[in-house]
Amino acid sequence: MTKTFGKVLGLISFITIILILAACGNGAGSENGPSSDSSDSSNGSDSGEEKVLKLATSADFPPFESRTPEGEFEGFDIDLANLIADELGYQLKIEDMKFDGLIGSLQSKRVDMVMAGMSMTEDRRKNVEFSTEYNRSGEMFISKPDAGIDSLEDLKGKTVGVQLGTIQQEGAEKLKDEYGFEVKKLDSANILIQELKSNRIEVGYMDKSVAKGYVKEQGLEGFDDPTTSSPGMGIAFPKDSDLVDDVNDILKKLEENGKLAELKDKWLSEE
Ligand code: ARG
């Protein structure tokens, strides 16, 4: 009787241990989402052979990211993302969304990383992880050539368009009372340019490296923001993502082998 009881007890403990071990095994790794295991970069977003790196961007921001008339993604960030995916041995999948939704897509782990000319602000750092800096750009105010807007003082009484969720929105809101202008928040940089061209806003405020392109292409004018102190741009990841170290190593490698400089020459060099 006692013997049988002992055996049953033994069996139950054995099964319990097996179940606990199995549960641990399943749990580990799933916590950080798809691309979480840095010790084994073969751990892709999808199970099986296909290893997918999900990138989100806001493709309204040439020369960093935009869409060709055929709908293909192109730009500095896109080329860099492809190089990174190649190095990691992942297939790159790009999702286009509003800039304002990018941080949320990382927080919900819907995507593995974001490249969108995103400035690495302290506020964003509270919610996402950043790579090392890969580019730096100041800010610029742009307007139609006949508008006569050449300084902060000229912004008085004007409406300044900014892209929703950007550091320019934040910056403009800080300056608006001092210089007496209105801020209009717009979903995309493309809409901002349309609004400017159709006189619904008088001024646009955006990253200098992007503004310069629009100035040239659309025959606009602009002046540098003398107050700017924006942080550099980086790649953003969900908090605790194991991809950060791998990607930083790759960025370092691309810097050392000159590939990053090549990309900058290709997309960002124009003065
Ligand atoms: N650098 C600015 C920021 O981080 C604007 C970035 C906008 N990017 C875009 N793809 N539209 O807030």
For the chain, the domains span 52-136+232-268, 139-224
Ligand 1 pocket, mutate which of 96, 119, 120 (most atoms under 8 A from CB): 119
List phi, psi (to 5°) of 87. Answer: -60, -40
CB atoms within 10 A of CB 45: 18
Atom of ligand 1 nearest to the CA of 168: 12
CATH topology of domain 52-136+232-268: D-Maltodextrin-Binding Protein; domain 2 (3.40.190)
CA angle 110, 114, 115 (to 5 degrees): 155
Report how far ligand 1's centroid is from the alpha carbon of 119 (Å): 7
Report how far ligand 1's centroid is from the alpha carbon of 201 (Å): 19
Ligand 1 pocket, mutate which of 55, 61, 106 (most atoms under 8 A from CB): 61
Asked if residue 63 has a cis previous peptide bond (ω within 30° of 0), the answer is: yes
Write down the pLDDT at residue 84.
Answer: 98
Is residue 54 within 8 A of residue 105, CB to CB? The reply is no
> Tokens 């209009």, residue?
184
> Tokens 């860099």, residue?
80
Rounded to two decimals, what is the model's pTM?
A: 0.82
* Per-residue tens of pLDDT for the chain, all 271 residues: 455 555 654 544 554 444 444 554 443 333 343 444 333 434 444 455 679 999 999 999 999 999 999 999 999 999 999 999 999 999 999 999 999 999 999 999 999 999 999 999 999 999 999 999 999 989 999 999 989 999 999 999 999 999 999 999 999 999 999 999 999 999 999 999 999 999 999 999 999 999 999 999 999 999 999 998 889 999 999 999 999 999 999 999 999 999 999 999 999 976 5
Ligand 1: which residues within 6 Å by Cβ? 58, 60-61, 65, 99, 116-119, 163, 166-167, 189, 207
Nearest CA to 238 among 108, 123, 97? Answer: 108
- CA-to-CA distance for 168 and 205, rounded, in angstroms? 6
**Is 139-224 in the same CATH topology as 52-136+232-268?**
yes
Nearest CA to 60 among 130, 179, 164, 199? Answer: 164
Report how far ligand 1's centroid is from the alpha carbon of 199 (Å): 23
- CA-to-CA distance for 213 and 29, rounded, in angstroms? 43
Write down the pLDDT at residue 116.
Answer: 98
Write down the pLDDT at residue 4.
Answer: 54
Atom of ligand 1 nearest to the CA of 65: 10
CATH superfamily of 139-224: Periplasmic binding protein-like II (3.40.190.10)
